[in-house]
Structure 1
């Protein structure tokens, strides 16, 4: 059953990644306005943040299973509606609902994984889930592009919709509810988000998530521009991104993944952030494909250390009464980081060199702040680990 949950993670992220090569052309076929296309692309991330937070409340009130099943069924149904779109307002509405309901899936799936994982094996468990995300990052864009070009965009939506609705039926039938998921949550403290954001280790996780996805948004925005500027074939943008994904997956799946439970999660998290920062700085001056591939391998190594660590921190520093909202907030910061990275640098109008350096500075500044915090609070922090 654990592998079925990983499969759902793959489906949820393929839904997101498969949109990358098709959504802008699809929006353009409805309205050629650049402003409209930008709105359509950004609407998903905006409503996805709302869905993440709402999912957190719902998970802690009713249990992760019902949220997961509902998210799969609702998202699958919304995907079918893309095939009926005829006007810009219809597309905006569907895009909003797609992001909203899609926001239920990942917090629910990761809550199920965390609740079923052993406390001393959360790092390895989150590494395997990271491999699922990495697989989606590789397969999703290729799936969307190939199916849309050979058949039509409608078939992309319909195939993913059928997969999600089938998964919803399977999850409802075979995924067991944990005993305490059946009981209504009555702890008033767990009904508020602010106490979670004030929890030091959760705040650290959220800062790590935001800075990671700020870098990711920067990479997605600037790497194609760098490839174009260096006059390489545009296909290398996808190959370079796949290189970072493959590197991360190998680290997630090979025996080296034991490091996530051998060392403190905050240490592997900060190490990953430093490596990503270094990769971006080196990438800013890259002028050959060999150099860029090396940067992507370095980036993938940092991502592999960072992603499971921040997920494991949340699993370790929450209870089943608060874990849903904690993961909901976490993935809201994920979405916010992607939007902030691409939007902020787009507004600044900086070159790809300056953009990569800015993203690296954000990461390294966050690491410095974390290090100073841990050093200042080392005594009380050690007690909290016992």
Structure 2
């Protein structure tokens, strides 16, 4: 018989209650009466670690146990009340047997892995350039190491897709999580630019193995009628990573160091690897029936639906690269504080997440993917044109909100289109190429405009026109397909 999730919560709660009492009744008097400062710093750190364990046990119980919202909220509140955990333990012991355990939600764990992968990416954005400069990198090398991650990511994506189809998504997920977490620890040993370049190649390559395997696992465990909604929910975790990652690394790096930030991210990766080994390892996928698709070759991947999905992925991240490159410069030129760039990017992320999680996500299963894809690209193109013309903070927030709506329409559309256009047997490889185009789009968006003779407004205008032209191509091909049928 498996241990009840509430049992883990009770044990963690007792440990948290004991450590709180030690902090309040022993450590604090030692500091404030006898002047032993280390008592609070050491005990406080231990209590903080136990509290994190307790919070995770609350989260675990919340997703596994059939109980009301009252219990997890109460469990969190009593952690701040002396002796509160002991009273809660007494109550939980009496009612534990009354709560049934829900089947484990595999999708939630896959979403968490997707969040980790993009959290790893977005947490690098505010700190990598300054870290590279701190180890003696020239201005050219600083830019080079930033783009190098995405370039190496491309090869990791492709290899992940090939191996996923051969060995299954679970094994590749585990490999990617463990290797990328180890790669994050290598930043502690970086003392000069050459080794930083090596670490960026390793980090980018092994991190690229996670997302194709995660999306393949998700796609293969979802019925066709819910692929659009599930892609939107997956996009929610990407959006959350885009909002939380930069803020987390920026704040933590200012108080500690960049390698410490990456160590925190690595610890999340190791925890996810352990949890995945326990739960995803038990998952038994539905046995695939032999069909005509079983005899398909890799050349069969590149049908019209897949090509449109790949093009959408490229232009999505090309647009993101342009935003990351030009928006801070545009804000600076207008005379605003550099912090405005960060809040503007958070605005687009928040709007996208709202579209993903609200009932609006049903549109992705009710409307053809080509239509929502064209709308998404169109909104993003219009917003790119308007950013260059916006000079007030109100206008910029509005335009970035519009950009967020476009992002929210495009991301699930291209995922759904890819899933419906590929057989299960080749989906890993298809997702590998898909995220390779993602990575190439980031590199292209942040570098192509640097080569072209455009000023800031011209760069936004060029990108907007390019996106609108692509939206037109998507609409034209959709109309042409209708005419043929």
Query: With structure 1 as the length reference, what TM-score do the two structures score?
Result: 0.94
Deviations 1:332-374 (A, max 9, x none): 1111111111101011242221111111111111122222222
Matches within 5 A, 1:173-184: 173-175=278-280, 176-178=283-285, 180=287
Within the candidate set 168, 171, 196, 1:91 is matched to 196
Partner of 1:22: 127
2:434 is the counterpart of 1:327: no
Distance 1:209 1:81 in 2: 30
Q: Is the 8 A contact 2:309 2:434 kept in 1?
A: yes
| Equivalent in the alignment of 1:11 | 116
User: Quick one: distance in 2 between partners of 1:188 and 1:72?
Assistant: 31
**1:178 Cα deviation (Å)?**
2.1
Asked whether the equivalents of residues 123 and 308 of structure 1 are also in contact (C-alpha less than 8 Å), the reply is yes
- Which of 173, 189, 207 lines up with 1:68 in the alignment? 173
Deviations 1:217-274 (A, max 9, x none): 1111110011000001110000000000000000100111111111111110101111
- Verify the 8 A CA contact 1:49 1:332 in the aligned structure 2: yes
Whether 2:482 is the aligned partner of 1:375: answer no
Contact kept in structure 1, 2:388 and 2:461, CA below 8 Å: yes
Aligned with 1:34 (options 123, 135, 139): 139
Would the aligned equivalents of 2:221 and 2:285 in 1 still touch at CA under 8 Å?
Answer: no
Count residues with an aligned counterpart: 375
- Of 293, 299, 302, the match for 2:397: 293
Matched, 1:79 2:180: no
Contact 2:229-2:361 within 8 A present in 1 as well: yes
Q: Is the 8 A contact 1:14 1:139 kept in 2?
A: yes
Measured against aligned partners, the alpha-carbon deviations of 1:88-118 in whole angstroms (never above 9, x if no partner) come to: 2221111101000100111111111111111
Larger RCO (alpha carbons 8 Å, 6+ apart): 1
Of 129-138 and 369-378, deviating more is 369-378
- Determine helix, strand or coil for the equivalent of 1:31: coil
- Out of 132, 147, 154, which is 2:237 matched to? 132
Aligned-partner Cα distance in 2 for 1:189–1:256 = 36
Larger Rg: 2
1:205 corresponds in structure 2 to 309
Partner of 2:260: 155
Counterpart-to-counterpart distance in 2, 1:267 and 1:67: 33
CA distance in 2, matches of 1:34, 1:195: 44
Kindly indicate whether the alpha-carbon contact (under 8 Å) linking 1:46 and 1:99 is maintained by their aligned counterparts in 2. yes
Describe the SS at the equivalent of 2:425.
Answer: coil
Q: Deviations over 1:295-347 (max 9, x none)?
A: 01110011111100100111111122111111111111111111111101011
Q: Distance in 1 between matches of 2:295 and 2:165?
A: 11
From 146, 157, 181, give the equivalent of 2:251: 146
1:52 aligns to 2:157 (yes or no): yes
> 2: distance between equivalents of 1:282 and 1:41?
27
SS in 2 for 1:243: helix
**How far, CA to CA, are the matches of 1:373 and 1:32 in structure 2?**
47
Structure 2 equivalent of residue 365 of structure 1: 469
TM-score, structure 2 normalization: 0.75
Structure 2: how far apart are the matches of 1:212 and 1:78? 27
* Alpha carbons of structure 1 residues 54 and 188: separation in structure 2 relative to 1, 3 Å: farther
What is the alpha-carbon distance in structure 2 between the residues aligned to residue 166 and residue 250 of structure 1? 28
Could you list the runs of 5+ residues in structure 2 that have no partner in the other structure?
Answer: 1-105
Deviates more, 1:171-180 or 1:58-67: 171-180
Equivalent residues of 1:24, 1:41 under 8 A apart: yes
The answer for unaligned runs of 5 or more in structure 1 is: none
Q: 2:362 maps to which residue?
A: 258
- SS across alignment from 2:335: coil
Q: Distance in 2 between matches of 1:30 and 1:189?
A: 50
Say what the alpha-carbon RMSD is for the aligned residues: 1.6
Contact 2:374–2:472 at 8 Å: present in 1 too? no
Give the CA deviation at 1:202.
Answer: 0.4
State the distance in 1 between where 2:340 and 2:460 align: 18
